Chains A and B, each alone.
Chain A
Amino acid sequence: MKRKAKTKAARVPITWKEVKRQKFLIICSLIFVIYGIIFYYVPLGGWIMAFENYKPKTGLLGSKFVGLDKFKFLFSDATFIRVIRNTLAMGVLNLVATFVMAILFAILLNEIRFGFGKKLVQTISYMPHFLSWIIVTGILHDALSNSGIVNELLLNFGFVDRAVNFFANKSFFWPIVAFANVWKETGWNAIIYLAAITSIDPSLYEAAAIDGAGRWAKIKHITLPGIKPTIMILLLMNVGNVLNAGFEVQYLLGNGLVKRVSDTIDIYVLTWGISQNDYSLGTAAGIFKSLVAIILIVVANQIAKRSGEQRLF
């Protein structure tokens, strides 16, 4: 409280003298604002395209205004509905899978008492995060190919009679995408939980040990509650990204055979906007995605507020 009052008192009134004194800061801000307007705010003006029949020839202001026609087309298009379903399903699946795995990995790694082994495992666990999706999908493609390790193991242990073509079967696609995300990000996402675990008061563990608590009991009653605030804030930050999680893997691993389950909103935008040159429709689909993302963030934030948890804003 005291600190707050202090900053309030220190607020400087806008006077010529002060403006002159801060001219370096003001000039820098101006440059940054101009940059921000050009690269982040001007594109928002392009949203007008979604409400007109945009033709590059006539431009943004000369094209015919069509109101909500593009949005009506979107929601009457069975492909778009399917694309929304795919995006949401894979987004939620990825979110849950990567969250659970990262927390589990952090807790279990923390239980390793052998310092060098712990450090080594952790260093290895970050590695996939630094690889691009191109590399990850390529590696995954090799592992799941007909002569890859997965098929080899399945054949050797007699689970299947002949190699499974993982990329031709629709029911495998979502789990493959979730696995790819888990493989790439578990170690990286665990960093923040490990940091949170380190900040738990060690005396709690000592007290629990005296009371005869085993490892499981300690994890359940001390570690998990200790990192709960971190889990909540990260969950909140990621809910808004659920729809953003649907591009690279799906674009790189998708093929004609699994199109019905692999196409996402971003891929839809890309196909209509870039390949078919229907800028208006592509923009309309993009706007829909942005709106849903904002709604998700606000709703998640409200839920967090109600339940008395930390929130973003």
Chain B
Amino acid sequence: MKRTKMKTKWPDKLFVVCNTLFMIAFVVITLYPVLNTVAISFNDGMDAVRGGIHLWPRKFVLKNYETVLHQQNMITGAYISVARTVIGTLLALVANALLAYVVSRKRFLFRSQLSLFWVITMYVNGGLIPVLLVYRSLGLTNSFWVYVIPGMISAFNMLVLRTYMEGLPESLAESAQIDGAGDFTIFSRIISPLCKPVYATVALFVAVGQWNSWFDAMIYNRMRSEYTTLQYELMKLLSSVMQQSGSANSMAAAGQGAATVTPVSVRAAATVVTMLPIICLYPFLQRYFVTGLTIGGVKE
């Protein structure tokens, strides 16, 4: 059907050529800056200042990575980032799934009220400072838990899960109920196994969000270097680069004193370390986020 044997008219041919060129340009613009950063991360720092490095390092060194991996802050940051991603994703998944289950039960007495209660949170929030004061009074600031507890439930994820659960045949839960199963059993034994694809979607959304966030580390744990995250460390490197932007005499970055590293090259190496896990994983998770987005987009 796609390849009907018809004579292609010249405007159509022109269209195909232009379209192909557009896609190639799109891919180049998307990939080039990333690959360029990878090349710089493997290049001698002082040499990179001269410019002209594109997709391949000119003076290959591993010094930048050594510098990054020997910094205590980066190592702590890596641990904390992994911990918050794992713990945060697990907690968020369990909480959102349970909430979605409760809201998706048609016979539940307070179904619409509970749903409204959460939908409101999508549109109004206290704002930065009131939120900060609440976290402070709960003792969440200057602690690891500020990364995983406050953002645990999100109305958006709850709606995605609910929509999926409501699409499952009701007779499954009903027959289990007749057999004497309680709600917890129905949730954990019957609904959850069927929700694996949508669980994967939500887990992916939450995990990416956890891995990538930096603002919470900056605001709530600024004074506590033991709770720093990879992204926050990267942000500090970025701002040191921006401040010294353009000046070549910015050696001795990161206290290593080695003549061959500059803030730019160290930052490039740190960037590669930070994005590596995501770049390696996301192509395999495609089908999950594609389904998730389509469910989320057509909510209600």
Interface residues of B in 41-85 (CB under 8 A from A): 49-52, 54
With a 10 A CB-CB cut-off, give which of B117, B127, B242, B293 has the most chain A CB atoms.
Answer: B127
- In whole angstroms, what is the CA distance A132 to B212 when docked? 5
- In whole angstroms, what is the CA distance A108 to B16 when docked? 10
Whether, in the assembled complex, B225 has its beta carbon less than 8 Å from a beta carbon of chain A, the answer is: no
Q: Which residues of A contact B178 (CB under 8 A)?
A: none
Q: Top 10 closest A-B pairs, CB basis?
A: A43-B126, A46-B130, A147-B51, A286-B127, A132-B212, A43-B130, A24-B183, A40-B121, A273-B129, A139-B33
B26 and A24 contacting across the interface, CB-CB below 8 Å: no
Whether, in the assembled complex, B173 has its beta carbon less than 8 Å from a beta carbon of chain A, the answer is: no
B153 and A145 contacting across the interface, CB-CB below 8 Å: no
Q: Which residues of A contact B208 (CB under 8 A)?
A: 130
- Closest chain-B Cβ to A221's Cβ sits at a distance in Å of 15
For A18, give its contact among B109, B132, B297 (CB under 8 Å): B109
- In whole angstroms, what is the CA distance A38 to B50 when docked? 54
- Of the listed stretches A69-77, A78-86, A118-126, chain B binds A118-126
Whether, in the assembled complex, A63 has its beta carbon less than 8 Å from a beta carbon of chain B, the answer is: no
In the complex, per-residue mask of B136-163: 1 if CB is within 8 Å of any chain A CB, else 0: 0010000000000010110000000000
Whether, in the assembled complex, A292 has its beta carbon less than 8 Å from a beta carbon of chain B, the answer is: no
Chain A interface residues toward B at CB < 8 A: 7, 10, 12, 14, 18-19, 22, 24-26, 28-29, 32-33, 35-36, 38-47, 49, 105, 108-109, 111-113, 117, 121, 123-128, 130-135, 137-143, 145-149, 152, 165, 167, 183, 186-187, 191-192, 195, 202, 206, 209, 214-216, 230, 233-234, 240, 248, 252, 255, 266, 269-270, 273-274, 279, 282-283, 286-287, 289-290, 293-294, 297, 312
- In whole angstroms, what is the CA distance A230 to B36 when docked? 36
Interface residues of B in 198-229 (CB under 8 A from A): 208, 211-215, 219
- Closest chain-B Cβ to A276's Cβ sits at a distance in Å of 11
B182 and A24 contacting across the interface, CB-CB below 8 Å: yes
Q: Which residues of A contact B26 (CB under 8 A)?
A: 105, 121, 125, 186
A29 and B114 contacting across the interface, CB-CB below 8 Å: yes
- In this complex, what residue of B is CB-closest to A146? B246
- In whole angstroms, what is the CA distance A29 to B111 when docked? 9
- Closest chain-B Cβ to A28's Cβ sits at a distance in Å of 5
Whether, in the assembled complex, B278 has its beta carbon less than 8 Å from a beta carbon of chain A, the answer is: yes
With a 10 A CB-CB cut-off, give which of A109, A117, A132, A186 has the most chain B CB atoms.
Answer: A132
* A202-B1 CB under 8 A given contacts A142-B40, A152-B52: yes
For A134, give its contact among B126, B182, B214, B268 (CB under 8 Å): B214
Question: Contacts A141-B242, A186-B26 given; 6 further ones with Cβ under 8 A?
Answer: A10-B106, A125-B27, A130-B208, A152-B52, A215-B11, A283-B130
